[in-house]
Amino acid sequence: MVDDPLRALLRGCHGAAVASWKSKSAASARAELIRTPSSAALSRELDFFGTSSKRLEVTDKAQSSSPGRNNVKSVAPTSADMSAAVASPTLEAALAHMGIVSPTAVQRRAIPAMRAGNDVVAVAPTGSGKTLAYAVPLLSELLSGSRAQHRSAPHALVLAPTRELAEQIGRVFTRLSSEARVNARIKIVCSKAAAAGLKAADGLIDIVIATPMRLVATHQAGAINLGRVAHVVLDEADELFAGNFLEQVDDVLASCGSQLKDGTRVHMFSATFPPAIETLAQGLLKKQKKIVIDGGAYGGSAAVGGVAARIEQKFMFVGGRGEQGKVMAVRGLLKEGLRAPILLFVQTKDRAAELYRELVYDGVKVEAIHADRSQQARMRAVERFRTGEVWVLIATDVLARGLDFLAVESVVNYDMPSSASAYVHRIGRTGRNGRKGTAVTLFTEEDRVLLGPVLKVAKVSGADVPEWALKLKGVRKDVVRRMEKRPPTRKRIGGPNRGSIGKRHKKEKRLESRSRTEKGEADSESTSDGKKRNSATKGKQTRRKKRGASDGLNVATSLEEEEYE
């Protein structure tokens, strides 16, 4: 099992950061964070390990009133690359104030491309700073006053597939605008209450960050005008163009920019960009600028180049033992000391709940997030994972798109990813910001169809894929596509835990009751049969007596006749 000191360390990091920010002046606390390498990496993520948006707001207010604010830039001077990319001294100073002194590869190319008026398509690994790559140019326009004067509609719209991701993006925008002192009105629309607040704002919103379904409902209710939206950013574009999201995104894009002379500029950011989605993008984007960072698989549509340098990828065959074999494999990994915090991916929400029951009765500090849990329960589970109170978090693919944890050490694919794209996004949850990570994928015989595309991505990324796996017989492309849309039906996750014991006990009780009933019926039948047998015996005895009496009478008559003769 994972040692408790790790949890204490994670909790200590979180507590120390909050305590230091409360006890010291804002400027000295910020300078100390920048000087400490590990803390600088944490602050670079913009969501200091477990820091909530409320803490960020309090800290920002304290910093605004701090007299030492202007001295932070001298502690962490920005690079020439940052100056060239951002081209705004105010935003440059704000980024330095947050400990970000040099742009990442995607930021270095995407920020100038958006400022130049292009429709940007950026394919870059998870954790490479894509959010800032579009947040900086959007806030730069607000700062420079180039935002259209029509306050009846937002200037920019950011779409995300999950509520968690939308809130995370909102924290980044809020933090950066606060540091740069940009008068930006930012609204996150992920609930009915937020939509009502949007209507009450009377259109005085600069940037709206929303999930597709909630935004469509809000627009249909007349609470928001999308006719003058200048920019639409699709974060996790591959997910937004798949499944149920596609129709909703199409409705949003059809409503945007209808009142603008040049229409709306559309930007797409993701770690994967399959050819089918690229075809859709070509019909939407007018002045496309495609940026691919570390693209190595499927014609550069998956950003996996260099992944092996930071993520150790392993594949484990659990044989024909099925689900019980997978559970045993997970227990073995935990017992052998797989580094925590650990993200554990499953195929469906039902399987997330089932696996949670298996592990929690083993004494594992585990939480699960899936669609059947309330938003409050999911947020509480994520917060417990951030602070180290639990060190295993079970999640599905869709909800995992909204998770951005800096210190995740390991990813376990309990269920085989349904596509190469899902595999890239899953393993990208670890090894972030230059850290090392481990990704373990469990598979059974029924996963052979899904294994090929995943192994191809792993091989291209530089992973050490076993030779026997590469020699597996290939599967037709149409079968692979069908399996991606409809993953295999799997058996229920179950094993010798308290839950299954309780169910077995109930079953035994039912069988015992049924047996008792059947026994009672048998006894009743036996008693009835006994009575019938006794009655029959008595009847036979009565008939014998009568027959005997009759025979005696006949004998006496015969003797009398003999005497008479």
pLDDT of residue 39: 37
Is residue 64 very low, low, confident or very high in pLDDT (cuts 50, 70, 90)?
very low
Select from 300, 325, 352 the last residue of a domain. 300
Q: Are residues 296 and 318 in the same domain?
A: no
Q: Residue 255 — very low, low, confident or very high, per pLDDT cuts 50/70/90?
A: confident
Q: What is the pLDDT of residue 60?
A: 39
Q: What residue numbers bound the domain in which 47 lies?
A: 1-76
Residue bearing the bigger pLDDT, 119 or 319: 119
Q: Is the pLDDT of residue 281 over 80?
A: no
Q: Distance between CA atoms of 324 and 205, rounded to whole angstroms?
A: 52
Looking at the whole model, is its pTM more than 0.85?
A: no
Least confident segment among 91-100, 245-254, 255-264, 474-483: 474-483
29 and 136 belong to one structural domain: no
pLDDT at 509: 59
Residue 437 predicted with pLDDT over 50: yes
Rounded mean pLDDT, 356-360: 92
User: Which CATH number belongs to the domain containing residue 363 in this structure?
Assistant: 3.40.50.300
Mean pLDDT of the region 234-258? 86
User: Do 325 and 452 share a domain, yes or no?
Assistant: yes
Residue 469: burial class (beta carbons within 10 Å; 0-12, 13-18, 19+) = middle
Of the listed ranges 287-301, 371-385, 421-435, the one predicted with least confidence = 287-301
Cα–Cα distance measured from residue 58 to residue 178, given in angstroms and rounded to the nearest whole number:
11
Structure tokens at 536: 């029959």
Domain stops at, among 267, 300, 333: 300
Residue 66 lies in a domain: yes
Rounded CA separation 95/450 (Å): 42
Q: What residues have CB less than 8 Å from 520, skipping those under 6 apart?
A: none
Of 449, 451, 424, whose CA–CA distance to 439 is shortest?
A: 424
Q: What is the pLDDT of residue 323?
A: 79
How many degrees, rounded to 5, is the angle at CA 20 between CA 19 and CA 26? 125
Per-residue pLDDT band at 444 (split at 50, 70, 90):
confident
pLDDT at 55: 33
| 53 domain residue, yes or no | yes
Domain boundary among 300, 329, 355: 300
CA 484/CA 452 separation, integer angstroms? 12
Return the DSSP state at 191: S
Mean pLDDT over all residues of the chain? 74
Q: What percent of the chain has pLDDT over 90?
A: 24
Please tell me the predicted confidence (pLDDT) of residue 517.
65
Query: For 406-428, how does the pLDDT look when each residue is reduced to its tens digit (9 = 90+)?
Result: 788 999 999 988 888 788 888 88
pLDDT for 394 equals: 94
* pLDDT tens-digit readout, 361-384: 989 999 998 878 888 888 899 889
pLDDT per residue as tens digits for the range 27-46: 443 333 333 333 343 344 43
Task: Name the domain count of the chain.
Answer: 3
Q: Is the pLDDT of residue 356 over 70?
A: yes
